[in-house]
Structure formats: C-alpha cells, structure tokens
C-alpha cells in the first residue's frame, strides 16, 4: 500500500496546517476556557473547502478523498480538537446523504453542509442506548404523508447550535435492527428542544440533548427505505470514526511535540532532561504510538479511497489512535510536570481532549468487540 501523497493531498494538508496554526491556535486556549463556539471558523473551513473531500463537485465538493480528509482532521486535531469535531459534523452527514439519500435530498442538503452554511449533526445516542444502538427508544410513527418523531438524543455534538441533523428512530420496533429508519431534519422548528451538556474537555465544541416531542417529519425527510436505519447508522459511523481516529493522531502528535520541545529546554541536575533515559523511554514510546496510529489511519483511508470495505481497519485505527492520544497526553503531562498540569499551558487541554477519543463514536470496548469478533470468526467486520 502506497501512502505517497499526491500534490492535491499534500496541498490540502498544508492548507489545513496553515489554517490551524494561524486561525485556530492563537485563541485555542481561550476558546476552550470560555467554551466559545466558533461559528466563524465553521464558515472559514467551508470557504477553504475542508468539508468537500468526500463529496463530488456536482454537490459542491472537491472529491479529494478519505486520505485528504484524514490529513485535514489530523491537522485540526493537533491544534484544537474541538475544531476537528466541527469538521466531522459537516462531513459525516454530507457523506451519508451522498451514499444513502435520493437525488432531490442530496441536492437540497449536501451543498449547504459543504459550504458550512447549515450546521450539521447526527443523533444516534440516547440516555439508555449508547454502545447498544438497537436499544434506542425514539420512534417515528407514520402520520398521513409523514412521521411524528418522539425521543431524546443525548451527547450530540453540535446539538445546541445545529441547523440540520441526521436522526435515527424506530419506525417498527418489533423488527429490531430491521425496524430502524434514518431521517434528515431541519432542527429550527417546533417540536425540538435542546439542552447543553457540560463535559471535561473539548469545550469549544458544544454538546447536548435534542428532545423531540411530536416533531413532524415530512416523507421526503426519510433517508433510504424504512428499516434501513441501523445499516445506514453503522455505515455512517465507519466513516466518522475515521475522522475521529485521524483527530486522535493529531492530539498524539501535539503531545509528542510538546514533550520533545520541553525535554530539549528544561534543565535539571545539570543537564537537559531529554538526556535522561527515563524521559527518552517515554519519548520513544510516544513516537511509536503516534506513527503506528497514523499508518493505521492511512491504511483505513486508502482502502476507502480504493472503494474497498474498511470497517475492520477503521475500528483498528480508531482504537489504536485513541490509545495513542491518551498515552501521549499522559506521558507529556508527566514529562512537563507542573507545567503539564497547569491550565496555563496546552498539555492539560490535550490530556482532557484525548480522553474523548476513547469514548466517542464507539468506545474503545466497542472497537475491540468488532476487532475480536472478526478475529475469532464470529462476525466478519468487512461484509
């Protein structure tokens, strides 16, 4: 497998790095501390074409592919993880619409997501249905020409600010996995209320609940056929997990960079601390975790770019990258000591943000379940 970047991919990475360093980094600490939602950055990333990598030109995209998308995700994750979430909330729904919606729905919903005009989100998780997606309680009951949606979605990135969203609910609960359906809805309408939720990190990315009470969805809001929702949701997660994995590589890299820089400056016992083997041990492990995770992300992205199934490779990459982010952030904090723990320096933000990658978009245990069931021959991940 060849990971040599094309000119376009290298240019996309440079553009994302430049944007992240010039436009995101200067206020990253402040945005995190003040929980600032940066609508302006969503617009700028739309102007720069960051949301279009997976989308053909006819719907406003550049079609640069999954590897380019992963490179952009890593650059954003490295500088400020919360801003990487914005990217995923635009690209994830746009790509799922591309794969599963009809022509009219694609024309209506994809371009505003790609431009960054419509803030997107996806709503799967519920208070009693996290890892166990099929346990969701939301229902969309047929009513004349449309549906009436009732249910509570929780831990939804962008819930407080989203204009539109991909929402999952049962149209026929008796059919379990085959009775769930997917909808694309406008959220600034009667029948939706929102409740922000606080978390330990990723503060500049608002998270919350979406509460649907007799929310009317027209027939044209359904994506795919009735009963295809679980499959659409799983397909959606395969792609958004890849962006997540790439973002986690960015966090791992930022932590490694911070640790190396500090180890080259800080002197104790008459020498730079980088001279101590215990610090070198940590740095070496950080480099290995980061590089291995990046290779796994590139492999999963390259498979998608060549049209091959990559559920297994995405789960491996997501698990490895989340662990790499958490390991590297923890190691960086140990190396920087009080400066790592201090809220005046960026490492503690990396440490808080790294944890999210072990939880969101399918926890570490869910990725391991998918990987182990495949290895044991119980259920092939790529089918």
* Catalytic machinery residues: 361
Q: Which residue is nearest to ligand GRA (CB)?
A: 362
* Residue with Cβ nearer ligand GRA (22 or 368): 368
- The yes or no reply on residue 231 touching ligand GRA (CB under 6 A) is yes
Distance, in Å, from the CA atom of 57 to the CA atom of 50, rounded to the nearest integer, reads 13
Among 22, 30, 33, 177, binds ligand GRA (CB under 6 A): 177
Contact 184, 166 (CB under 8 A): yes
> Residue 197's beta-bridge partner residues?
207
> Residue 105's beta-bridge partner residues?
none
- The yes or no reply on residue 125 touching ligand GRA (CB under 6 A) is yes
Distance, in Å, from the CA atom of 325 to the CA atom of 252, rounded to the nearest integer, reads 4
Site for ligand GRA in 45-64 (CB under 6 A): none
Among 71, 101, 110, 124, binds ligand GRA (CB under 6 A): 124
Question: x/- binding map, residues 333-362, to ligand GRA, per CB under 6 A?
Answer: ---------------------------xxx
- The yes or no reply on residue 274 touching ligand GRA (CB under 6 A) is no
Q: How many CA atoms lie within 13 A of 248 on its CB side?
A: 35
Measured from the CB of residue 353, what is the shortest distance to ligand GRA in angstroms? 11
Give the range of 18-26, 123-131, 265-273, 334-342 binding ligand GRA by CB under 6 A. 123-131
> Residue 174's beta-bridge partner residues?
none
- The yes or no reply on residue 370 touching ligand GRA (CB under 6 A) is yes
- The yes or no reply on residue 136 touching ligand GRA (CB under 6 A) is no
- The yes or no reply on residue 131 touching ligand GRA (CB under 6 A) is yes
Measured from the CB of residue 152, what is the shortest distance to ligand GRA in angstroms? 14
Measured from the CB of residue 73, what is the shortest distance to ligand GRA in angstroms? 10
Site for ligand GRA in 235-254 (CB under 6 A): 235, 237-238, 244
Burial of residue 103, with CB atoms counted within 10 A of its CB: 0-12 exposed, 13-18 middle, 19 or more buried? exposed
Distance, in Å, from the CA atom of 229 to the CA atom of 207, rounded to the nearest integer, reads 23
- 3 state SS of 190: coil
Measured from the CB of residue 184, what is the shortest distance to ligand GRA in angstroms? 16
Q: For residue 362, what are the CA distances in angstroms to 117, 308, 314, 359?
A: 28, 21, 11, 6
Q: Are strands 267-268 and 271-272 parallel, antiparallel or unpaired?
A: antiparallel
Contact 245, 322 (CB under 8 A): yes
Tell me phi and psi for residue 270, to 5 degrees: 80, 10
Binding site for ligand GRA (CB under 6 A): 85, 88, 124-125, 131, 133-134, 157, 177, 230-231, 234-235, 237-238, 244, 311, 360-362, 366, 370, 379
């Amino acid at each position: 497998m060849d990971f040599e970047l094309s000119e376009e991919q290298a240019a996309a990475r440079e553009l994302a790095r430049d944007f992240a360093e010039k436009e995101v980094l200067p206020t990253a600490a402040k945005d995190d501390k003040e929980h600032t939602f940066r609508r302006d950055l969503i617009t700028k990333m739309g102007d720069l074409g960051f949301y279009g990598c997976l989308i053909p030109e006819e719907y406003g995209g550049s079609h640069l592919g999954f590897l380019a998308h992963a490179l952009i995700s890593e650059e954003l994750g490295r500088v400020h993880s919360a801003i990487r979430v914005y990217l995923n909330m635009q690209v994830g729904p746009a790509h799922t619409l591309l794969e599963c919606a009809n022509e009219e729905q694609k024309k209506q919903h994809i371009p505003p997501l790609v431009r960054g005009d419509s803030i997107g989100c996806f709503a799967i998780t519920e208070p009693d249905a996290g890892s166990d997606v099929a346990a969701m309680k939301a229902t969309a009951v047929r009513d004349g020409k449309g549906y009436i949606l009732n249910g509570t979605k929780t831990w939804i990135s962008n819930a407080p600010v989203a204009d539109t969203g991909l929402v999952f609910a049962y149209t026929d609960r008796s059919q379990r996995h085959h009775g769930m359906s997917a909808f694309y809805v406008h959220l600034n309408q009667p029948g939706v209320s929102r409740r922000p939720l606080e978390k330990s990190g990723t503060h500049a990315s608002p998270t919350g609940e979406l509460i649907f009470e007799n929310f009317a969805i027209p027939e044209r809001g359904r994506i795919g056929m009735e009963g295809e929702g679980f499959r659409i949701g799983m397909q959606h997660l395969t792609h958004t997990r890849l962006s997540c994995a790439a973002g986690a590589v960015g966090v791992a890299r930022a932590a490694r960079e911070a640790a190396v820089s500090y180890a080259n400056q800080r002197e104790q016992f008459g020498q730079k601390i980088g001279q101590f083997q215990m610090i070198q041990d940590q740095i070496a492990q950080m480099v290995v975790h980061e590089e291995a995770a990046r290779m796994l992300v590139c492999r999963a992205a390259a498979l998608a770019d060549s049209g091959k199934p990559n559920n297994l490779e995405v789960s491996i990459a997501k698990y490895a990258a989340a662990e790499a982010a958490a390991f590297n952030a923890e190691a960086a904090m140990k190396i920087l000591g009080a400066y790592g723990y201090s809220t005046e320096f960026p490492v503690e933000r990396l440490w808080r943000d790294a944890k999210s990658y072990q939880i969101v978009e399918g926890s570490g245990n869910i990725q391991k379940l998918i990987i182990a069931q495949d290895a044991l021959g119980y259920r092939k991940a790529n089918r």
